[in-house]
């Protein structure tokens, strides 16, 4: 990313002349640029504060989710204990597809009433509390995680922009949902066995449900700039929680601001608007116009 000062120096031509008129114009331009920079910084601060608020909201949601999950786990343990008392119940094996549907039903579509969060992700670990109901053979199953993405209901594409490259290898209409389900494999590394299923929610067709199976054996090939305006908020996992805390060091906060600035300057619309605004201001105050 080119620094803002470099961008400005490109837009503002350097003059070798030192006439008083030129000098005053130069000063005027400088003050204008300073004003612009100040306004941009204020905007950046505003956005970062908004981001902090969203992060806090997300943390609250995550804490609520965890407490619900632990309650669910307690209930599950209780019910499994009761089952183990009853010999008829423990004798019936849970079949593969049954367990999958059970898992899906236990997941609730997380939605924000404000519509601010449209990308919710959480993991369904193989070592989850629900394992008490699963047969032992399921231990070898890959890690499954689900992502709910709010999209435009009119948008028929089954694309979930998560930064990874995916190759579609199939599509199928399932019995319980009139919307087709798309099957993807990780296209970045042939050895990477991660699979993704994407299907619109039967209840709310504006929600895309992406199911990830397994872990990537490589790093993320591309950053989320691919999202191009699609808000993507991932709730903090226990290990990542620290990075999302509001009381983190100023260095980290500054890095976050830098990242935001970077993403803004990478946006061609933003840079074009910035260049246009600066050039307009320059032309407005140019001596030829007066």
Partner DNA sequence: CGCTTTTGACCAGCGC
Partner DNA sequence: GCGCTGGTCAAAAGCG
According to the binding rule CB under 7 A, does residue 65 interact with DNA?
no
Torsion of CA 173, 174, 175, 176, to 10 degrees: -120
Contacts 24+ apart (CB under 8 A), 128-135: 129/69, 129/72, 129/73, 129/76, 129/77, 130/73, 130/76, 130/102, 130/103, 130/106, 132/76, 132/77, 132/80, 133/76, 133/80, 133/94, 133/99, 133/102, 134/94, 134/99, 135/93, 135/94, 135/99
According to the binding rule CB under 7 A, does residue 187 interact with DNA?
yes
Q: Which is nearer to DNA, 170 or 287 (CB)?
A: 170
According to the binding rule CB under 7 A, does residue 167 interact with DNA?
yes
Q: How far is the CB of 214 from DNA (least distance, A)?
A: 10
Task: Residue count of the chain, please give it.
Answer: 290
According to the binding rule CB under 7 A, does residue 218 interact with DNA?
no
According to the binding rule CB under 7 A, does residue 240 interact with DNA?
no
Judged by CB under 7 A, the residue of 7, 26, 107, 183 near DNA is 183
Stretch that binds DNA, among 56-64, 69-77, 167-175, 257-265 (CB under 7 A): 167-175
Q: How far is the CB of 124 from DNA (least distance, A)?
A: 14
According to the binding rule CB under 7 A, does residue 100 interact with DNA?
yes
DSSP bridge pairs for 123: 145
> Whole-angstrom Cα distance, residue 109 to residue 85?
33
Judged by CB under 7 A, the residue of 15, 67, 70, 174 near DNA is 174
Q: Which is nearer to DNA, 161 or 285 (CB)?
A: 161
According to the binding rule CB under 7 A, does residue 170 interact with DNA?
yes
DSSP bridge pairs for 25: none
Judged by CB under 7 A, the residue of 97, 152, 154, 249 near DNA is 97
Question: Helices 20-85 and 250-266, interaxial angle, to 10°?
Answer: 110
Residues in contact with DNA by CB under 7 A are: 95-98, 100, 166-172, 174-176, 181-183, 187, 195, 197
């Amino acid at each position: 990313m080119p620094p803002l000062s470099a961008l400005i120096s490109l837009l503002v031509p350097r003059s070798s002349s030192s006439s008083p008129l030129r000098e005053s114009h130069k000063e005027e331009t400088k003050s204008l640029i300073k004003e612009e920079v100040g306004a941009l910084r204020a905007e950046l601060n505003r956005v970062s504060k908004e981001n902090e608020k969203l992060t806090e909201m997300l943390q609250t949601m995550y804490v609520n989710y965890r407490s619900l999950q632990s309650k669910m786990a307690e209930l599950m343990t209780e019910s499994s204990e009761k089952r183990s008392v009853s010999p008829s119940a423990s004798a019936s094996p849970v079949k593969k597809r049954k367990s999958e549907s059970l898992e899906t039903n236990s997941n609730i579509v997380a939605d924000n009433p404000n519509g601010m969060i449209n990308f919710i992700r959480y993991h369904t670990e193989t070592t989850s509390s629900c394992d008490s109901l699963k047969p032992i053979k399921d231990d070898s199953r890959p890690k499954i995680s689900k992502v709910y993405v709010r999209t435009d209901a009119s948008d028929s594409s089954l694309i979930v922009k998560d930064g990874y490259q995916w190759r579609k290898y199939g599509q199928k209409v399932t019995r319980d949902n009139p919307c087709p389900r798309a099957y993807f494999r990780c296209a970045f590394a042939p050895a990477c066995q991660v699979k993704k299923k994407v299907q619109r929610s039967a209840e709310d067709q504006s929600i895309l449900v992406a199911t990830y199976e397994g872990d990537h054996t490589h790093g993320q090939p591309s950053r989320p700039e691919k999202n191009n305006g699609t808000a993507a908020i991932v709730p903090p996992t226990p290990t990542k929680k620290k990075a999302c805390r509001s009381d983190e060091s100023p260095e980290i906060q500054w890095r976050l601001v830098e990242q935001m600035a970077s993403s803004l300057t990478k946006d061609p619309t933003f840079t074009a608007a910035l260049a246009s605004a600066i050039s307009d201001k320059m032309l407005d105050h140019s001596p030829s116009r007066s």
